[in-house]
Amino acid sequence: MRETVKPWPVLASRTLFSHPRLTILEDTVLLPSGHQTTWLRFPDSRDVVAIICLNHEKQILVAYQYNAGPRQVVDEFPGGGVATNESYLEGARRELLEEVGIYAHEFQEIGAFLVNNRRWSGRCRVFVATQIETRQAAPDAEEFISYEWLSVEQIEQQIRDGVLENGTLLAAWTLFRLNYRP
């Protein structure tokens, strides 16, 4: 039962590694067994956003870019980090425009999920963007993004076939199918 699980007390915390794009912390924690252990995690920070963009034909934008972690081109919905000086909606609008050059006039937040619950407290807030127009993209220096418009049926077939395998995309898609009401 959920209420029988208790948080682990943090006895000490230190930064193991710090880089502009990645920081790793090491916590010394007290386990329910009474034993101490160390646990690696990322520091708490702002949530991220993912945007499911629909065009006037009810097609969904699926973006693709090379990701060095898995060393492959990965499917995704546009999105990214939200700056401390902007709302989640502003972050969603900015990320969509930066990454694929689409400006949306309408946004609807449809849910959120934990991105990496074993190592980070951050959530991904999912938005649906509609009433769109094409503008100039301005991606980050290391973002080389292409995209295509797919029907709901095409996306779901690619999920069944194992073509679309990004966990963030799959979680966002689940929220879309369960919660989006045009």
Residues 48-88 pLDDT 10s: 999 999 999 999 999 999 998 899 999 999 999 999 899 99
- CATH number reported for the structural domain that contains residue 58 in this entry: 3.90.79.10
Residue 25 to residue 164: CA distance in whole angstroms: 32
- Asked whether 14 and 35 are in contact (CB, 8 A), the reply is no
Domain that holds residue 109: 48-179
Mean pLDDT of 25-31: 97
Q: Are residues 96 and 115 in the same domain?
A: yes
Q: Are residues 158 and 112 in the same domain?
A: yes
pLDDT of residue 137: 81
Q: Are residues 80 and 149 in the same domain?
A: yes
Q: Are residues 37 and 52 in the same domain?
A: no
Q: Which of 26, 41, 56 is the last residue of a domain?
A: 41
pLDDT of residue 110: 98
Residue 173 to residue 176: CA distance in whole angstroms: 5
Q: Give the total number of structural domains in the chain.
A: 2
Reported confidence tier of residue 46, pLDDT bands at 50, 70, 90: confident
pLDDT of residue 24: 96
Closest to 144 (Cα-Cα) out of 61, 88, 66, 75: 66
pLDDT tens readout for residues 122-150: 999 999 999 999 998 887 778 789 999 99
Q: Are residues 174 and 142 in the same domain?
A: yes
Q: Are residues 67 and 150 in the same domain?
A: yes
Q: Are residues 124 and 77 in the same domain?
A: yes
pLDDT tens readout for residues 94-115: 999 999 999 999 999 999 999 9
pLDDT of residue 170: 98
